[in-house]
Structure 1
Amino acid sequence: MKRIVIPILSLFLMGCGDDPLPRPKGYLRLEYPKASYKKTNIPLPFSFEKNTLSDPIKAVKSTSNAKGVDVKYPNLKATIYLTYKEVNENNLDSLLRDAQNLTQKHTMKADEISSSVFENEKKKVYGMLYEVGGDAASQSQFYVTDSLKHFLSGSLYFYAKPNYDSIFPASEYLKKDIKHIMESLEWKKFNFYK
C-alpha cells in the first residue's frame, strides 16, 4: 500500500505549482528592405529622390492647371500621388486652403491628425506634413511651396480597405519616403532666387 500511496502523493505535490498563464498573442512581423534613393528625371519643374522599391515613374498626368506623377509601390499596394500647380499672385492662399481642406476631409474616420512644419531655406522649400491616424483613406498628406512660383501637394493611398492596424507598418515605411521626397525636392528652371 505504501508503494502505491507515495507515488500518488508525489504526483499531487508536483502538480501543484504556479497557475498556468496564457501565452501572449503573436504579432505579424513585417520587414521592409532598407530604403535606397535615386534622383528622378521627370519633365516637371521639380525633381526629388524616390525609393528604388517603387516602380519607375513613366507618365506625367496633366490637366489644364495641374500636372503630377504617381510614385507606385506595388509590393506595398500603395501610391504616393504628387500634384504640381504653378503659383501666381492670386492663387497661393487658395492652393494652401485646398491642401489643408483635403487633409481635414479625413477627420470623420481619423483618430488623430498631427502636423509638422517643414522648412528648407537653402532650397526654398516650405511646407507641412500631416500624419493621419485611424482608418482614414489616406495616412499621410503634405504640401510644399516656394511661395512664389511652385506648389506641390502629395497624398498616400493604399489599394485596400483602410484598416489602420493592418497597414500601419507599410504606412510608417512610406512616411519616411514622403519625408525624403520633401527633403530632397528641388525646384527647376526658374533662376529668380539668385
Structure 2
Amino acid sequence: MGNITLVLGGARSGKSTYAEKIALAYDGPVTYLATADCADAEMEKRIELHRARRPASWATWEGGPRDLPRAVAEMRGLMLMDCLTMWLTRLFLASPASEDGSEEEWLAAEAEITALARGLFESVRADASLVVVSNEVGLGLVPPYRMGRRFRDAQGRMNQLCAGYAENVALVVAGCPLWVKGGAPAGL
C-alpha cells in the first residue's frame, strides 16, 4: 500500500490550500480526485475556484463515488482527493436509510460505506501517494435532527478510519497545519 496523508480542518480553515501545497511539492504526476457533485450554482462557483488554483499539468478524475476505489487502484504518482466529506455525502445521500431508515438499516448502510472506504484506502498502490482532504465536523454543536447526527457521526468515524491508514495527519487551523501524526513532507 502507498503513502496516505490526511489533511483535516473546519470550514474555510485552509485545508484544501495546504493539501495543494503538498501536491505542488511532489516531483511527479499529480491527479486531482474531484468528489463533489455539482448540484447548484453555488457549488459550481466553488468547483471553478478549485479548478482555477490547479496547475494545468495536473490530471483530474471526476466520477461516481462507487468508482473511486477502482480508479485509485489504477493510478500512480500523487493523488489529491478533495474531499472525503463530499465523497461520503454522495454515498450517504444515495442511501434511503440515512434519513428514514431504522437504526439497524442505517448501521447496515454505514457498514457498506465503510467497506467501500477501506477498499479505497487499501487500493493505493505502493508506487502512489494519496493526500485526503476532509472536514472535521465533530467540534460544533450536535445537529438537532437525526440525519444530521448520523452524518456527523459517520464523518467522524470515516476520519478515524482514514487516519488509521494514514502515515501523516494534519489538522489545519487558520491556514496553519498542526501535525497530529507523522509530519510534514520534505520541503514544507
Q: Which has the higher helix share?
A: 2
Instruction: Tell me: higher relative CO, structure 1 or 2? Use CA pairs within 8 A at least 6 residues apart.
Output: 2
